[in-house]
Structure 1
Amino acid sequence: MNTTAGQADGRSLADRFGIEPGMVVMEMGYDDDVDEDLRDTLIERCGELVDEDTDEVVDAVLLWWRDGDGDLFDTLVNARTPLADSGVVWLLTPKAGRPGHVEPSEVNESAPTAGLQQTSTVNAGKDWTGARLVARRATSNRR
């Protein structure tokens, strides 16, 4: 299930994140520890990032999340609210051994409860890992 995009695949970070020109990308959890190279690459591809107060429907959410940032479930629900039906949440967490590292079990518990499923992970820079989360598809039409 997890495919780690390595540097050897030749694709840029924006490609690995699936960010295209004209996409609306919302950023949540920005702080002075984020990977500025990643941000710059994504901004270069799609234009300015919108903040969580936007009224726009967004194609992707870039969510910087650290241990101690609060309730991950609540934040994922908030990230889903403006998301287009085919949108994606990129949950960016510090790598193991870095300050603020988030245990994978927290993501594995919070994402499904928030209606999201993890489809892959990417190396998102020196200190960050990105988990691609998408809305779970309904398996039946229950009423």
Structure 2
Amino acid sequence: MIETAFQNAEEFGFRSGDIVQEWLWDDDVDDSIREKIEQLTGEELVDEDYDSAVDGVIIWWRDGDDEDELADTIVDAYAVLGDDGPMWVLCPKPGREGAPNASTVQSAAQTAGMNAATPLTVSKDWNGIQLRAFGKGSSH
């Protein structure tokens, strides 16, 4: 098991009791990340069809998916995200199948009115990129 900064999922910024919405789930996702978020929050992840406000968002993204779709997904996810809760795009790490070009997530985030942080290792095969709305705690 590789130790990462995200060993217990607190680094995502989610807290106990948070409802975290998961977008673009597929059978290639890292279930250990999902389990750690559920353990931390004490709540099951909810899917795209959940129709109430949520406290956090994770979006699974792979190369080959449409960049415009990512921008649209970010906008849709942000619309239900309460109080500027944490929003993350999770992508396969460079060299892994489905790893996107470094500029793809940044470009989609900007199209959606968001800033994308530097990718962080969240598991053996996945990186996480935190998104923030322009003007909300941005370092740029």
Using structure 2 for the length normalisation, give the TM-score.
0.85
Q: 1:68 to 1:91 in 2, by over 3 A?
A: same
Larger radius of gyration: 1
Aligned partner of 1:55 in structure 2 is 51
What is the one-letter code of the residue matched to 2:15? E
Q: Distance in 2 between matches of 1:12 and 1:96?
A: 20
Q: Distance in 1 between matches of 2:111 and 2:8?
A: 28
Where does 1:60-79 land on structure 2 (aligned, <5 Å)?
60-70=56-66, 71-79=69-77
Which runs of 5 or more residues in structure 2 are unaligned? none
Aligned residue-pair number: 131
Query: 1:130 aligned to 2:119?
Result: no
Identity %: 42
- Check conservation: 1:87, 1:134, Cα contact below 8 A: no
Using structure 1 for the length normalisation, give the TM-score.
0.83
2:24 aligned to which of 26, 29, 35: 29
Mean Cα displacement is larger for which, 113-122 or 31-40?
113-122
Q: Write out per-residue CA displacement over residues 71-125 of structure 1, whole angstroms, 9 at most, x where no aligned residue.
A: 2211211221111132221100001111111111111211012011123432111
Q: Which runs of 4+ in 1 moved over 4 A?
A: none
Q: Write out per-residue CA displacement over residues 50-78 of structure 1, whole angstroms, 9 at most, x where no aligned residue.
A: 11111111111110001122222112112
Structure (1/2) with the larger strand percentage = 1
Q: Distance in 2 between matches of 1:121 and 1:81?
A: 23
Q: 1:58 to 1:120 in 2, by over 3 A?
A: farther
CA RMSD in angstroms comes to 1.8
The DSSP-based 3-state class of the residue aligned with 1:85 is helix
Which runs of 5 or more residues in structure 1 are unaligned? 1-5, 139-143
